[in-house]
Amino acid sequence: MLVYQNFAIDNLKWQHVRLREDDIIICTPMKSGTTWMQMIVGLLIFQTVPLPAALDTLSPWIERRVMDPETLKSLIDQQAHRRFLKSHMPFDALPEMPTQKIIFVARDPRDMALSLWDHNRKFRPEVIDKMNDFPGRVGPPMPPTPEAFPVFFREWLTRGWFDWESDGYPLISLFRSVATWWAERDRPNILMVHFNDLSRDLGGEMRRVAEFLSIEVARARWPRLIDAAGFAAMKQNADALVPFMGSLFVGGAGDFINHGAAGRWTGVLSDTDLSLYREILAARLPAACAHWLETGRRGSHIS
């Protein structure tokens, strides 16, 4: 298992997780629909609106460095519901999970990068100080986020934080992570989901997730669950859904659940930026994987 540790993440915290056979792992590159999928899975498990607790509590992020390991262990060990845990790791940076159901969610890299830039630059200064000063940090502190997205995008495309990665700065490589999951996509306990497909057909994708998780939902309940999982409803209820995450950002929870639209990079990135992106995308991923990563299941062979 590769070790990922920096100012924000520590995947060795998985050593404190006693996996259950029916655990669900929601694994995504950062800013690729993580909270959206957590909401979907939470609604399928509890089938109530609102959920019984905040997503921060129901579905903790295992690798979050600033959470004390004993607090994390206590939180997840006491959960009596079917657990759905959050991760941002590549396939080879997680423990073996032969029976657990894993949902991998991805997003067009340009949309993901823009959302990540928004995310990083809206951290409260005291939050950055806490991450950097929390005991046990490996490597340099979190660097300042460039004011201009194209500057951030070019560095994100061409620089890795970890020695074995070539992009993703200042966090984890998107392309390497996607490649590790793409290579394992035919495993029966892995479901590949795309942000664009959730946007195009939320109800259809929720039913697909429910079938994968062997969760039955009465027909009469579907409309309310689908409505609650919609982006507008989640943004409206952001303070209740992610109160802890909301406390990290200058604009509160509404800035954590920020934009659900695709293509906001259009007109922001230059032709030179996009040519560089195309070159790196083609070099790092198989053509079929790159196509899926940009578009979703439409036109790809993932069923």
Beta-strand relationship, 190-194 and 24-27: unpaired
- Length of the chain equals 303
For the cut 90, the answer to whether the pLDDT of residue 44 exceeds it is: yes
pLDDT in tens, 61-120: 999 999 999 999 999 999 999 999 999 999 999 999 999 999 999 999 999 999 999 999
Which residue, 6, 255, 265, 5, is CA-closest to 143?
6
Torsion of CA 257, 261, 266, 272, to 10 degrees: 60
CATH topology of domain 11-295: Rossmann fold (3.40.50)
DSSP, residue by residue, 151-210: HHHHHHHH--SSTT-SS-TTS--HHHHHHHHHTTTTSTTEEEEEHHHHHH-HHHHHHHHH
Instruction: Please report, for residues 11, 17, 227, 258, the alpha-carbon distance to residue 262 in angstroms, rounded to integers and kept in the order given.
Output: 30, 35, 20, 12
- The amino acid sitting at 14 is W
For the cut 60, the answer to whether the pLDDT of residue 125 exceeds it is: yes
**Residue 246 pLDDT:** 66
Which residue, 292, 279, 107, is CA-closest to 183?
292
Measure the CA angle with vertex 95, ends 214 and 91; round to 5°: 80
Residues 145-153, mean pLDDT to the nearest whole number: 97
Domain boundaries, the chain: 11-295
CA torsion sign for 29, 33, 36, 40 is negative
Of the chain, the percentage scoring pLDDT greater than 70 comes to 94
Q: How many other β-carbons are positioned within 10 Å of the β-carbon of residue 207? A: 15
Three-state SS at 271: helix
Are 284 and 176 in contact by the 8 Å Cβ rule? The answer is yes
CA 156 to mean position of chain CA atoms: 17
pLDDT in tens, 167-226: 999 999 999 999 999 999 999 999 999 999 999 999 999 999 999 999 999 999 999 999
Are 37 and 213 in contact by the 8 Å Cβ rule? The answer is no
Instruction: Please report, for residues 114, 115, 263, 291, the alpha-carbon distance to residue 271 in angstroms, rounded to integers and kept in the order given.
Output: 16, 20, 15, 20
Single pTM value for the model: 0.94
